Amino acid sequence: MEAGDFKDFAKAMADYIAEYLENIRDRQVVPSVKPGYLRPLVPEQAPQKAEPWTAVMADIERVVMSGVTHWHSPRFHAYFPTANSYPAIVADMLSGAIACIGFSWIASPACTELEVVMLDWLGQMIGLPETFLARSGGEAGGVIQGTASEATLVALLGAKARTISRVKEQHPEWTELEILSKLVGYCNKQAHSSVERAGLLGGVKMRSLQPDSKRKLRGETLKEAIDEDIRKGLIPFYVVATLGTTSSCTFDALDEIGDVCNSYNVWLHVDAAYAGSAFICPEYRYLMKGVEKADSYNFNPHKWMLVNFDCSAMWLKQPRWVVDAFNVDPLYLKHDHQGAVPDYRHWQIPLGRRFRALKLWFVLRLYGVENLQKFIRKHIALAHLFEKLCSADDRFEIFEEVTMGLVCFRLKDSNEMNEELLRLINGRGKIHLVPSKIDDVYFIRLAICSRFSEESDIKISWEEIKTCADEVTKNV
Ligand SMILES: Cc1ncc(COP(=O)(O)O)c(C=O)c1O
């Protein structure tokens, strides 16, 4: 493809994207295709001869859109949001054009340096203490990981390296294998499954602890578990505190957990994957009280801060434990400025990395902090609107206190009745939601996901849920 065609193709695509997003609420939120729908729609083999871009463009609706779940539709209320904005889409175009692999500073200095500065901007926006930021002049700083799951694993590996080094000093006669077999980490039973998975991948035990009646992990519970394990001869080394659990968006008692971790010299990682974006609004920072006691902190601007996937922001107070744990330094990756700036390949699991800081730079500049705050506040207000509508119908109950853009609700009835309700809702295809279950209570989650969501959309979703509730309860 020559530059002229590229310009035409890109312009046509920009028009298509704008049309798609601005009219997305008119599409069926989940497609009605069956598995295997796509193969008959495309040829068996790649074309031998080049096709015109117009032919590809002409196939997008038929082949792709017919099988797309529209995550950015105001009718989409499943999981948690994933972000989408025009500035981030354009930044991804530029990232694609530069197409560098920024594994070291010299591999593309702008790629590393913009990331360092953007993570400082972002850290200040959410009120992270200076001890996490590169601008503090120490070793601390931020990095963009692909996902929160990677951040949890990277922090676990850092915690493992730090603890092994400390225990080796205390017990030089112990082998690394012996120490490894004694390591134990902790999280809330409601923590995301990626925390348990990080334990499996890191080859260490992770214990899931019972939260209190509000689904928060408390310091006392953690302390008891740590004491119990120390009595058994185990070595507590890592704790993940969740701010905004996946099932019902509750917040662990970070301040209490931080005290326990600090007094036992245990690495504290904070997983604020979804809810962390809300901390750009100062009124929600009470939920991250105690953050200064953590060793690492992570949230996903790609969930709720208008930066398209993937952009998971992570800060480390002492990156040296991660850098040293992952440091293999072949000659072909060395450069003359090593040590003066981060070589981000040591801060992550893969070697390659895209120029993702561009997305942050574009979004932060083209929205400004003020508009991002407005966006978060609007989503939370819409969640409260849904909560109000739902609470006014005495067939329903709210399962969890609404603090962010997620409402957990259920019919005041059996789990089976609620399952039936959700089957009907999703079966009709007008809106899309997913359930969860805590302590054997099945409930339905309604997340405000789309940046296009308005009050009228929430009322439409509520009407649809009410209609389905009329249907499933009519024979009772
Ligand atoms: C609390 C929490 N942690 C981690 C994750 C995993 O996020 P990612 O897909 O970025 O790994 C999620 C996903 O929703 C989450 O809610």
Q: Residue 268: inside a domain, yes or no?
A: yes
Q: Which atom of ligand 1 is nearest to the CA of 147?
A: 10
Which of 99-113, 300-314, 329-343, 364-378 bottoms out in mean pLDDT, i.e. has the lowest? 329-343
Identify the CATH number of the domain in which residue 215 sits: 3.40.640.10
Q: What's the pLDDT band for 430 if we cut at 50, 70, 90?
A: very high
Q: Residue 4: inside a domain, yes or no?
A: no
pLDDT at 333: 64
Element (H, E) at 169: helix 148-170
Query: Is a pLDDT exceeding 70 seen at residue 78?
Result: yes
Cα 102 to Cα 196: distance, rounded to the nearest angstrom: 30
What residue numbers bound the domain in which 117 lies?
A: 101-354
Mean pLDDT of the 326-340 span: 68
Identity (one letter) of the amino acid at 205? K
Q: What's the pLDDT band for 116 if we cut at 50, 70, 90?
A: very high
Q: Residue 287: inside a domain, yes or no?
A: yes
Residue 191 CA, ligand 1 centroid: distance in Å = 9
Q: List 313's β-bridge partners, or say none.
A: 144, 299
Q: Residue 300: inside a domain, yes or no?
A: yes
Helix (H, G, I), strand (E, B) or coil at 434: strand
Verify whether ligand 1 is closer than 6 Å to residue 149 (CB atom).
yes
Verify whether ligand 1 is closer than 6 Å to residue 406 (CB atom).
no
Percentage of the chain with pLDDT > 70? 97
CB of 343 closer than 8 Å to CB of 68: no
In the chain, how many domains are there?
A: 1
Q: Residue 32: inside a domain, yes or no?
A: no
User: Which residue is it, tokens 């972000």?
Assistant: 83
Instruction: Using alpha carbons, select from 171, 178, 125 the residue that is nearest to residue 371.
Output: 125
Residue 391 CA, ligand 1 centroid: distance in Å = 28
Verify whether ligand 1 is closer than 6 Å to residue 194 (CB atom).
yes
Mean pLDDT of the 298-315 span: 98
How far, CA to CA in Å, does 206 sit from each of 36, 148, 182, 187, 259?
Answer: 38, 17, 11, 7, 20
Cβ burial, residue 327 (10 Å; 0-12/13-18/19+): exposed
Q: Residue 326: inside a domain, yes or no?
A: yes
Verify whether ligand 1 is closer than 6 Å to residue 312 (CB atom).
yes
pLDDT tens across 395-427, in order? 999 999 999 999 999 999 999 999 999 999 999
Query: Is a pLDDT exceeding 70 seen at residue 25?
Result: yes
Residue 273 CA, ligand 1 centroid: distance in Å = 5
The pTM for the full model equals: 0.95
Residue 336 CA, ligand 1 centroid: distance in Å = 37
Query: What does the radius of gyration of the chain's CA atoms come to, in whole angstroms?
Result: 24
Query: Is a pLDDT exceeding 80 seen at residue 168?
Result: yes
Phi and psi at 274, nearest 5°, equal: -90, -55
Query: Is a pLDDT exceeding 80 seen at residue 299?
Result: yes
pLDDT tens across 240-276, in order? 999 999 999 999 999 999 999 999 999 999 999 999 9
Q: Residue 277: inside a domain, yes or no?
A: yes
Helix (H, G, I), strand (E, B) or coil at 145: strand
Mean pLDDT of the 54-74 span: 97
